[in-house]
């Protein structure tokens, strides 16, 4: 049983600043299990309590999760002096100062980007040990070949002297438009893999991350919260209790 201060819990849930929460408490607008709590320092177990603020019930979450369809032109960072971090795309109701991007997409790369506040989940999703798949749509300057498919699958490519894990390359009707599945996420990996084969990536979009698929109805720049089933699937794929 974990007891936490009321102002900390409500701040975590995005109710407002500490000053605003103290004002709400003094005004008698916060109830816990039906009883008014005027002391913002009151300690309780938020996972076992029914909380209301100004008559509106709050659902307690320990961690938060967002799926973002990243457009080109934004860096995978929550802070950027140039003013183009991916958090600038989030609507006000999703603003938090503790978002962490799960893996990185280059500034010119588009597609699925997961944000979370759970550091252990992030670590496992991005660590090569867990071999979480990432699927990309890739457009190339030159046609990919069956030999590329074989080389990627064999795991014989190296980056900076370290061998890459085997990867699946899928050729479509147009071999300049392919899909690639990786189980690790090294710096500029997709571009460097094709460069090692004498080819150049001209467009890159992440379609899936582990069990998550990029929703076809989510426009570039838009985001949404994960569903309970999606959250459960993420934890299961890295062996964590959900």
Do 217 and 156 sit in the same domain of this protein?
yes
Residues 166-193, mean pLDDT to the nearest whole number: 96
Residues 125-131, mean pLDDT to the nearest whole number: 93
Measured in degrees and rounded to the nearest 5, phi and psi for residue 188 equal 50, 35
pLDDT value of position 172? 92
pLDDT value of position 182? 97
Would you list the DSSP string of 25-37? HHTT-EEETTEE-
| CATH number, residue 13 | 3.10.290.10
pLDDT band, residue 43 (cuts 50/70/90):
very high
Is 215 or 162 the better-scoring residue by pLDDT?
A: 215
pLDDT at 140 over 90: yes
| CATH number, residue 101 | 3.30.2350.10
Plot region of 28 (φ>0 → left; ψ -120 to 50 → alpha; else → beta): left
Report, in angstroms and rounded to the nearest whole number, the Rg of the chain calculated over CA atoms: 22
Paired residues of 209 in beta bridges: 134, 212
Do 75 and 94 sit in the same domain of this protein?
yes
Do 101 and 172 sit in the same domain of this protein?
yes
231: DSSP letter: H
Do 198 and 104 sit in the same domain of this protein?
yes
Do 32 and 150 sit in the same domain of this protein?
no
pLDDT at 188 over 70: yes
Residue 173 within any structural domain of the chain? yes
Residues 196-207, mean pLDDT to the nearest whole number: 98
pTM of the full predicted structure? Answer: 0.90
Q: How distant, in Å, are the alpha carbons of 69, 110, 154, 176, 214 from that of 72?
A: 10, 5, 31, 20, 15
Paired residues of 212 in beta bridges: 209
Do 103 and 214 sit in the same domain of this protein?
yes
Query: What CA–CA distance (Å, rounded) separates 242 from 230?
Result: 10
- Residue labelled with tokens 């019930």: 57
Share of the chain above pLDDT 70, in %: 98
pLDDT band, residue 168 (cuts 50/70/90):
very high
pLDDT at 125 over 90: yes
Which of 58, 77, 99 marks a domain boundary?
58
pLDDT value of position 78? 84
**Distance from CA of residue 72 to its chain's centroid?**
16
SS3 category, 124 = helix
Number of domains in the chain: 2
Q: Give residue 94's domain range.
A: 65-237
pLDDT value of position 29? 97
pLDDT value of position 84? 84
- Torsion angle of alpha carbons 58, 59, 63, 69, nearest 10°? -90
Residue 242 within any structural domain of the chain? no
Query: What CA–CA distance (Å, rounded) separates 103 from 143?
Result: 28
- The catalytic site residues sit at 106
Residue 45 within any structural domain of the chain? yes
pLDDT at 117 over 80: yes
Residues 136-149, mean pLDDT to the nearest whole number: 98
pLDDT band, residue 79 (cuts 50/70/90):
confident
Query: How many CB atoms are closer than 10 A to CB 106?
Result: 16
CB 2 within 8 A of CB 9: no
pLDDT at 80 over 80: no
Share of the chain above pLDDT 90, in %: 90
**Count of alpha carbons within 13 Å of 182, Cβ hemisphere only?**
24
Residues with Cβ within 8 Å of 118's Cβ and at least 6 positions away in sequence, in order, are 62, 63, 65
187: DSSP letter: T
Do 107 and 224 sit in the same domain of this protein?
yes
Do 32 and 12 sit in the same domain of this protein?
yes
Residues 83-98, mean pLDDT to the nearest whole number: 90
Encoded tokens for 130:
């867990």
Do 71 and 182 sit in the same domain of this protein?
yes
pLDDT band, residue 160 (cuts 50/70/90):
confident
CB 213 within 8 A of CB 219: no
> What is the β-pairing status of strands 201-209 and 110-116?
parallel
Average pLDDT, the chain: 95
Do 171 and 208 sit in the same domain of this protein?
yes
pLDDT band, residue 1 (cuts 50/70/90):
low
Do 106 and 212 sit in the same domain of this protein?
yes
Encoded tokens for 26:
């003094």
pLDDT value of position 83? 64
């Amino acid at each position: 049983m974990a007891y936490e201060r009321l102002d900390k819990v409500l701040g975590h849930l995005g109710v407002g600043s500490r000053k605003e929460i103290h004002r709400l408490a003094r005004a008698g607008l916060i109830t816990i299990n039906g009883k008014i709590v005027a002391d913002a320092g009151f300690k309780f177990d938020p996972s076992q309590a029914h909380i209301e603020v100004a008559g509106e019930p709050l659902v307690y979450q320990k961690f938060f999760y967002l799926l973002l369809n990243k457009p080109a032109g934004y860096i995978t960072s929550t802070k950027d002096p140039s003013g183009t971090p991916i958090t600038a795309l989030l609507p006000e109701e999703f603003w938090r100062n503790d978002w962490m991007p799960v893996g990185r997409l280059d500034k010119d790369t588009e597609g699925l980007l997961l944000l979370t506040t759970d550091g252990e989940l992030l670590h496992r999703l991005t660590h090569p040990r867990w071999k979480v798949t990432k699927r990309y749509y890739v457009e190339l300057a030159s046609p990919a070949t069956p030999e590329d498919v074989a080389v990627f699958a064999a795991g014989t490519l190296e980056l900076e002297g370290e061998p890459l894990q085997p990867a699946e390359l899928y050729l479509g009707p147009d071999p300049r438009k392919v899909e690639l599945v990786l189980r690790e996420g090294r710096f500029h990996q997709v571009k460097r893999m094709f460069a090692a084969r004498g080819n150049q990536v001209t467009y890159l979009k992440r379609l899936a991350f582990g069990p998550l698929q990029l929703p076809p109805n989510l426009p570039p720049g838009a985001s949404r919260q994960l569903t309970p089933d999606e959250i459960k699937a993420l934890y299961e794929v890295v062996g964590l209790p959900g």
